[in-house]
Amino acid sequence: MAGQRCAVVGVGQTKYESTRGDVSMPGLVREAALRALADAEMEWADIDAVVIGKAPDFFEGVMMPELYLAEALGCVGKPILRVHTAGSVGGSTALVAASLVQAGVHGRVLTLGYEKQSESNAMWALSLPQPFQTSVNAGAGGYFSPIIRQYMTRSNAPDLIGCMVAFKDRRHALRNPYAHLHQTDLTFDQVVDSPMLWDPIRYSETCPSSDGACAMVLTDETAADRASKPVAWVHGTAMRSEANNFPGRDEVNPAASRQCAAEVFAQAGIRDPRNEIDVVEMYVPFSWYEPMWLESIGFCDEGEGWKLVEEGVTNFEGGDLPVNCSGGVLSSNPIGASGMIRFAEAALQVRGMAGDHQVDGVSKAFGHAYGGGAQYFAMWVLGTDKP
Amino acid sequence: MTGSEVPPIDLPDLDVSAIEAIEGVEPVRSVRTPIRLDYRYVPGRAAVTYLEAMAEKRILGQRDPDTGHVFVPPRGVNPASGRVLDEFVELPDRGHVGSFCITNVPIPGRDDLSLPYASCWIFLDGADIGFLGLVAGCDPDEVRLGMRVAAKWKPDDELTASAENIRWWEPTGEPDMPLDEIRGGRGA
């Protein structure tokens, strides 16, 4: 891994809800930042710089919000950097923050992702009509449905694998007090019987629309060594992207995803991800993306991902590769924060601080985010030991 | 098995109560303020040439002389290499369904679409990338990977320089493309 050592020493999240009417955008980001600082046992003055990310500005219609949020983030007179990579932005934002530490530019960086979907219309912002063109795409579900159909055809996966993922993640969410959806009485049959929105994607196989923010404090080795709580060391970081429509593009298993995973595992010295990674937080906004990414990242061979789901390998209870113990994007989706939540939950697992969804004996965790037309990827590997 | 509680935030104790004049009034939770922005749209040379041909019921793509790939609709560059493209080729108004979504979500402003409708990735014969189009003229349940489709054009007196000249795509009745020749996903 390039550069100086970097560790996660603090994590802060807001409660995720459909409408956080009790706080403004500055109030929302400050809530997550305060919790991250408290966890890191730091004050605003201890922070050298802020790296912030969110989904495109036209979702809420507030342009360059990083400028007016600087004050709420204790960042007046300090450097603030904004990251833009669509849905993967929470992950990329954390990686940019890590790169500032690894490069020796800053010693203590606050990084944060947020979204206030209640003040936004993300679904139609993602399906803007183009002049002189026909428009038959209804939101992100409409975009990803044909890709999922290709996967189902290619892998001969049973039809209800997606429902199994959705039911699992909603059960996991019951263990996470920050999760948006707490569907205590949900049954598997209710998931199966929920309406088809974008066939083959059912209502219960899609992510909710959430308000929320997630923050982390990343530091250099000196500060991490002084931390009184356990820290999560960064073992590998990688970002890759590709165009969303070119001849021969594999939309089901994009080259950028495969290359990003290969790079992050090479940095972390991991040869056998299935056995060396203890817990996974993966960006799964539509249920079928769990088996698809399991294959693409290399946790199993191509065409085998759905079998891991079917066998319960990705369950919190009894699975040897638990995926999205927090409930995942399927249970909380403040878009600009969703990637950072994956990265932060990976950190909590490594630190042994994930509460009721803590997996026993975690030594290495994997955080993942994707965005755009499954074309932007951000991944990291964290560990209990110094790399 | 609900997890533990979200910890409280330590905030300064500020007085945020309403002034006396509006005490007891129902609080405003949100205000919707629609905004609009009018602008001149300059589609660029590739799109203008494509749209003008549309008015004559012709579909133009662009060919990359380096790779031989044909792009429709043309964008002026090969997105994989960045190479500027200036060679136009005419494509037939028929192809196949690479993949599709049976959609039960209405699109604002598209009152003509009854639910469910089939949003399909259409790959024209001779093209190397696809585009999203509506397949109609059959039951949505009949839409399948590899199904052959052709353009359903508007009447001649309604044609303009717009891709909307193609009202939808409908089945031709030809045999389906074999699965290993279907475009999209892995890309044939």
Structure tokens at B63: 């060919």
Q: Which residue of B has its CA nearest to A357?
A: B3
**pLDDT for residue B16:** 67
Q: Picking from A189-193, B59-63, B102-106, which range would have the lowest pLDDT averaged per residue?
A: B102-106
> Which residues of chain A from 224 to 253 reach within 8 Å of chain B, CB to CB?
243, 245-252
Collapsed DSSP state (helix, strand, coil) of residue B181: helix
- When CB atoms are compared, the residue of B4, B5, B162 closest to A132 is B162
Instruction: Give per-residue pLDDT as tens, A70-104.
Output: 999 999 999 999 999 999 999 999 999 999 999 99
Contact A174 B121 (CB under 8 A): no
Instruction: Report yes or no: B162 at the A interface, CB cutoff 8 Å.
Output: yes
Q: Tell me: cis bond preceding B73? Omega within 30 of 0 counts.
A: yes
Q: Return the bridge partners of B137, or none.
A: none
The arithmetic mean of pLDDT across residues A204-228, rounded, is 97
Contact B105 A139 (CB under 8 A): yes
Rg (CA), chain A: 19
Instruction: Report yes or no: B41 at the A interface, CB cutoff 8 Å.
Output: yes
Contact A250 B185 (CB under 8 A): yes
The arithmetic mean of pLDDT across residues A137-162, rounded, is 93
**pLDDT for residue B187:** 41
Instruction: Report yes or no: A145 at the B interface, CB cutoff 8 Å.
Output: yes
Q: Is A277 left (phi over 0), alpha (psi -120 to 50) or beta?
A: beta
Instruction: Give per-residue pLDDT as tens, A245-302.
Output: 899 899 999 999 999 999 999 999 999 999 999 999 999 999 999 999 999 999 999 9
**pLDDT for residue B180:** 81
Instruction: Give per-residue pLDDT as tens, B139-182.
Output: 999 999 999 999 999 999 999 999 999 999 999 999 999 888 88
Closest among B121, B124, B119, B120 to B72, alpha carbons compared: B124
Instruction: Report yes or no: B133 at the A interface, CB cutoff 8 Å.
Output: yes
- When CB atoms are compared, the residue of B29, B99, B161 closest to A146 is B99
The arithmetic mean of pLDDT across residues B54-73, rounded, is 96
Q: Domains in chain A, start-ordered, CATH in brackets?
A: 6-121+208-226 (3.40.47.10)
Give the number of beta-carbon pairs within 8 Å between A and B: 152
Is A34 in contact with A256 (CB distance < 8 Å)?
no
Q: For residue B12, which residues of chain A lie inside 8 Å, CB to CB? A: none
Q: Note the pTM of the prediction, 2 decimals.
A: 0.94
Cβ-proximal residues to A39 (8 Å cutoff; 6+ apart), any chain:
A9, A10, A11, A12, A217, A229
Instruction: Report yes or no: A183 at the B interface, CB cutoff 8 Å.
Output: no
Instruction: Report yes or no: A192 at the B interface, CB cutoff 8 Å.
Output: no
Instruction: Report yes or no: B159 at the A interface, CB cutoff 8 Å.
Output: no
In angstroms, the separation between the Cα of residue A103 and the nearest Cα of chain B is: 31
Q: Tell me: cis bond preceding B116? Omega within 30 of 0 counts.
A: yes
Domain boundaries, chain B: 45-181
Rg (CA), chain B: 25
Instruction: Report yes or no: B119 at the A interface, CB cutoff 8 Å.
Output: yes
> How many alpha carbons lie under 13 Å from residue A322 in its C-beta half-sphere?
27
Sheet holding B59-63, edge to edge: B70-71, B59-63, B87-91
Rounded mean pLDDT of chain A?
95
Q: pLDDT grade, residue A239 (50/70/90)?
A: very high
